[in-house]
Amino acid sequence: MSKKVSIVFHSVCGNSYIMAKEFYNEFVTYNAETQILRVKDPNYDELAKQFTVAGQYKNEILDIEEAEVEKLLDSDIIIIGSPTYFGNVSGAMKAFMDSFSPYWAGANFWGKKLLSYTTCGTTEGGADMCLNAINIFGQHMGMTPVPVPANLLTTQNFPAYGLVHYVGDYSNMRPSREVVLAIKEMTERLMSL
Ligand SMILES: Cc1cc2nc3c(=O)[nH]c(=O)nc-3n(C[C@H](O)[C@H](O)[C@H](O)COP(=O)(O)O)c2cc1C
């Protein structure tokens, strides 16, 4: 039976969006029923002012369907990607997570596979804490966070908690070939579960 996959992201400068697209393109090659959704971001324009690169993907991002919890209810695999903001998920992603509240008591998300990823300015910027914020949220919802295997940890210096792409001080360093290959590998692993 075909797996249902939802990829939910927040992105201002485009990097988390590019990763979401890479995941989308990979899952489609497995004929998985895949949707890509962006979280609502009322602060987009304010955040974008800080980065000259922000306009580059703005229209593409805004063209993507907005995420709502109900759209994820029948997913087998959920990918959540957020920029690291102050060692945590972004406010827009947190607001989306909090909107799961009506479904907590019913454990409607129990057993769904969750893979986290983040984009982060620097290697000391708290990416692992952002990934853990996503994973802990997922556990509260009964989801199963999927770890990154040791081969990717040792070759790419990823934390075990999810994938990371470092964007640099201006948020303009786009995902490297290694990050794209890691997305490919994690897609394959998720499809085999
Ligand atoms: C409000 C705010 C807080 C941020 N906090 C951090 C941080 O704690 N650590 C870090 O390395 N980068 C931080 N950054 C940089 C973001 O991680 C970076 O802009 C983001 O990964 C770009 O993702 P995007 O291209 O998907 O928007 C912050 C950026 C903003 C706007």
In this predicted model, what pLDDT tens digit does every residue of 133-154 receive, in sequence order?
999 999 999 999 999 999 888 8
CA of 82 to the centre of ligand 1 (A): 9
Query: Has residue 1 got a pLDDT over 90?
Result: no
Question: Once rounded to an integer, what is the mean pLDDT over residues 65-81?
Answer: 98
Give the bridge partners for 104, in sequence order. Answer: none
- Confirm or reject: Cβ of 126 under 6 Å from ligand 1: yes
Q: Which domains does the chain have, with CATH numbers?
A: 4-192 (3.40.50.360)
Question: Once rounded to an integer, what is the mean pLDDT over residues 73-77?
Answer: 98
- List phi, psi (to 5°) of 100: -75, -10
CA of 127 to the centre of ligand 1 (A): 9
Query: Has residue 131 got a pLDDT over 80?
Result: yes
Question: Once rounded to an integer, what is the mean pLDDT over residues 162-178?
Answer: 96
Question: Once rounded to an integer, what is the mean pLDDT over residues 81-104?
Answer: 98
37 sits in which H/E element: strand 33-38
Question: Once rounded to an integer, what is the mean pLDDT over residues 73-90?
Answer: 98
Would you place residue 189 in the very low, low, confident or very high pLDDT band (cuts 50, 70, 90)?
very high
Q: Contact at 8 Å (CB) between 163 and 127?
A: no
Q: How many CA atoms lie within 13 A of 87 on its CB side?
A: 3
Question: Once rounded to an integer, what is the mean pLDDT over residues 170-182?
Answer: 96
Question: Once rounded to an integer, what is the mean pLDDT over residues 69-74?
Answer: 98
Q: How many CA atoms lie within 13 A of 174 on its CB side?
A: 12
Ligand 1 atom closest to residue 88's alpha carbon, by position in its atom list: 8
CA of 83 to the centre of ligand 1 (A): 6
- Confirm or reject: Cβ of 84 under 6 Å from ligand 1: yes
What's the pLDDT tens digit per position in 41-69? 999 999 999 999 999 999 999 999 999 99
Q: Which of 148, 127, 157, 137 is nearest to 72 (CA)?
A: 137
Query: Has residue 156 got a pLDDT over 80?
Result: no
pLDDT score at 153: 85
